Each structure stands twice: as structure tokens, then as C-alpha cells.
Amino acid sequence: QVQLVESGGGLVQPGGSLRLSCAASGSIFRINAMGWYRQAPGKQRELVAATTSGVIVNYADSVKGRFTISRDNTKNTVYLQMNSLKPEDTAVYYCNADVLTLLRNANNYWGQGTQVTVSS
């Protein structure tokens, strides 16, 4: 099995910064892609940022220029650096990974989520 453990969420004032981390562990042969999603109260979950190897990245228009996704492939960890945070960034942020397991099964996994609150 594969587990995704997120950390780094919290309360921050508008204009501040947070850095989220997501570490994958378990029966991993290869992680094909990792990404961050978020879900605000009353809204559906949306893609924030995603990357394959770290070279190819994809950002939601609402976070371009403010958020940066990166991967440390040796540690099976993905990061989300969030700068210039706005109240509308408030949401539960979820880590997601497409994983090829040691048994060569392709599966998608979710973390438990970490709360990010941007408020003065």
C-alpha cells in the first residue's frame, strides 16, 4: 500500500507564505505524477498544481505567479510553496499521486488533507 502524508498547513495573514509538503511511502515502484488539489467550503475540489518529474508543471490560473510546485524524487516528496496568499486561497489542500506499485499496479492515492486558512 501507499500512504501520502501532508504537512505545512496553518493560519496565515493575507500576503503571507506557507510551504506544504507531501511525502509518499509504501510499496512504490515509481511515482508518475504528483499534484496538489484544494477544496473550499461549498465548492468542489480543484487542481492547484501538478507535475510529472518536476520538469513539466501545470498550475491553475488563479495561482500562477504565486505558487510553485516542486518534487524531490529521491525522497518521493512534493512541495507547494505558496506566496502572496489571499483569503480566497483558504481551503483544505490535498496531495495526490499516480503511483506504479511494486506489483506494477497503477493506482491513484490521496492524502488526508491539510487546512490552509488565510485571514487577518
What's the average model confidence in pLDDT over 76-99? Answer: 97
Q: Are 117 and 12 in contact (CB under 8 A)?
A: yes
**Is the predicted pLDDT of residue 28 greater than 80, yes or no?**
yes
User: Looking at residues 21-25, what average pLDDT do you find?
Assistant: 97
Task: Please check whether residue 76 is in contact with residue 28, taking contact to mean a CB–CB distance below 8 angstroms.
Answer: yes
pLDDT band at 73 (very low <50, low <70, confident <90, very high): confident
Q: In angstroms, rounded to a whole number, what is the distance separating the alpha carbons of residues 120 and 3?
A: 34
Rounded mean pLDDT, 8-35: 97
Average pLDDT, the chain: 96
Task: Name the maximum alpha-carbon separation found in the chain.
Answer: 48
Confidence (pLDDT) at 113: 97
Q: What letter represents residue 2's amino acid?
A: V
| pLDDT at res. 32 | 94
Using DSSP, state whether 112 is helix, strand or coil: coil
Grid cell digits, residue 59: 498550475
